[in-house]
Chains A and B, each alone.
Chain A
């Protein structure tokens, strides 16, 4: 592991200890964030799966309806019938903050679910078109709210997944790289400082010994002068 290279001083020790505290706090917060994101993500992705199943199922039947309609009327007639929509399907977009991820919420401008009668949703007259077409179009417009919800859920799931991955990387970087490195740095500084301390003590003892030796020698000299 790459070590942190610093001067073994008390100043540096203090600094490292502060950084370790911050890293620990950050790690705890990010871990909580990851857990909460995961909880939300699982709810959304379950919803996403359910919606996708319904939408896929219904779309297949809508397609079947359109194929039947295409079979019983000429392509030109079909195209002219469908070309000019009576209503625009505009959306308003707002954002919802999910654990600091801004996920879009889509809201159709027209009230699609109320829908009115079938006449309201159709943009052509009944004279030249087949009944199959009518039912296919109205089935599709009934499906729209679900499709919009699917878009919403799928987008939210994708964005949360990306955020979870990012957070998980950060948590792991703190847990397995940053914090051990800081601990190692602190350990090596403390050991170095302790070692200096011991060196100092032995030096002092040695000096004291030398001083006592000297005094003895001086005393011996005064006692037995040659």
Chain B
């Protein structure tokens, strides 16, 4: 099942203004204006050899469960990033959720 060191690509999903810059650094860029488009792109990218897929927080939050599906598989890593309007804290929430899953209580973010 584990393929040895192959070439994989990186992609980013989000609204046009937020992800335009990633084109310049060689990412595959998929624009999505709503969560349905984003989920469609996500599934398509995951089926290809994309190892890391960045997705903007606002879209990821709305897509919810579809993103969480990829949590337990080694590839692809679906990582949420802030969009042009700043961080919503959803990315941190996901880390918090991992901690709660593993430890049973939140011990990293004491607030």
Chain A residues engaging chain B, CB cutoff 8 angstroms = 38, 41, 45-46, 48-49, 52, 55-56, 59-60, 62-63, 66-67, 70, 78-79, 81-83, 85-95, 102-104, 106, 109, 121-123, 136-137, 140-141, 144, 147-148, 150-152, 154-155, 157-162, 164-165, 168
Contact = CB atoms under 8 A, between A and B. Distances in A.
Interface string B88-109: 0001101100110111100010
Closest 10 CB pairs between A and B? A89-B26, A155-B77, A161-B102, A164-B102, A85-B26, A161-B98, A63-B84, A161-B101, A82-B23, A82-B24
Contacts of A157: 95, 98
25 contacts: A38-B103, A45-B98, A52-B91, A56-B81, A56-B82, A60-B86, A60-B87, A62-B21, A66-B21, A89-B27, A90-B9, A92-B5, A93-B6, A93-B8, A122-B24, A123-B24, A141-B24, A147-B81, A155-B74, A155-B79, A158-B72, A161-B99, A162-B71, A165-B101, A168-B104
A55 B81 contact: yes
Given A151-B77, A155-B74, A157-B95, A92 B8 contact: yes
A41 B103 CA distance: 9
B74 A59 contact: no
Contacts of A151: 52, 54, 77, 79
B63 to A, nearest CB: 16
Given A93-B8, A162-B71, A38 B52 contact: no
A164 B26 contact: no
Nearest to B18: A63
Does more than half of chain A's interface fall in helix, strand or loop, or is it mixed? Answer: helix
Contact of A106 (B4, B18, B51): B51
A57 B88 CA distance: 12
Contacts of A67: 17, 84
Contacts of B8: 90-93, 106
Contacts of B81: 55-56, 59, 147
Contact of B26 (A41, A46, A88, A168): A88
Given A106-B52, A161-B102, A150 B24 contact: no
A85 B101 CA distance: 40
A143 to B, nearest CB: 9
B44 interface: no
Contacts of B54: 147, 151
Looking at A78, A89, A148, which has the most chain B CB atoms within 10 Å of its CB? A89
Nearest to B86: A60
A88 B51 CA distance: 14
Contacts of B92: 49, 52
A69 B91 CA distance: 27
A131 to B, nearest CB: 15
B74 A159 contact: yes
